[in-house]
Amino acid sequence: MDKTNLSRLESDQREALFFKTLVGYLEKDVPLITNLANFVAVICFFRPDLNWVGFYLEHEGSLFLGPFQGKPACTRIESGRGVCGKAMATKSTVLVPDTDRFPGHIVCDSEAKSELVIPLIKDGRFLGVLDLDAPAVGHLQEKDRILFEKAVRILIDFI
């Protein structure tokens, strides 16, 4: 893959290549952390416009930092706290166009201005969340929610 060639593709071609690449780096019989690390790396390759991409994994009722790319991050998030904690508490995707307007937003990186958090649920069991941050208000949108929820569904099939 070459980022120069990637930028020349139409958005639908880029999206198809994103999913093809994602599936190419996921495996059934590897430790969870292996798939999570490659999942984050593929997203960051295709979406350099995001300034933080990673996972928080459930352990004993809290979320703990998992594989990520970006600046150092909060290591533990309680259910109901911040955007990730809300996604954990509600077991649903949370899209925040402007993090400054989200009550209780946890500031791990002051440059994160919009955020998208998608829960990882397999066979009814909550495993954690995928957290994506962008450096501009309104950058993460409904189209991103649709794209990354589909990506998470693909990931779940490999867990």
Amino acid in position 49: D
Q: How far is CA 76 from CA 70, 84, 136, in A?
A: 16, 10, 25
For residue 111, give both structure tokens: 């440059």
Q: Domain boundaries in the chain?
A: 3-157
CATH number of 3-157: 3.30.450.40
- DSSP code, position 93: -
* Other CB atoms within 10 A of residue 2 CB: 7
Task: State mean pLDDT over 32-57.
Answer: 98
- Please tell me the predicted confidence (pLDDT) of residue 40: 99
Q: What is the CA radius of gyration of the chain?
A: 15
> Residue 129: what are its φ and ψ, rounded to 5°?
-140, 150
The span from the CA of 29 to the CA of 129, in Å, is 21
- Residue 145, pLDDT > 70, answer yes
Using 50, 70 and 90 to split pLDDT, how confident is the model at 8? Answer: confident
Question: Apex CA 146: angle with CA 153 and CA 28, to 5°?
Answer: 15
* Other CB atoms within 10 A of residue 91 CB: 11
pTM of the complete model:
0.94
- At 86-132, the pLDDT tens digits run 999 999 999 999 999 988 777 777 789 999 999 999 999 999 999 99
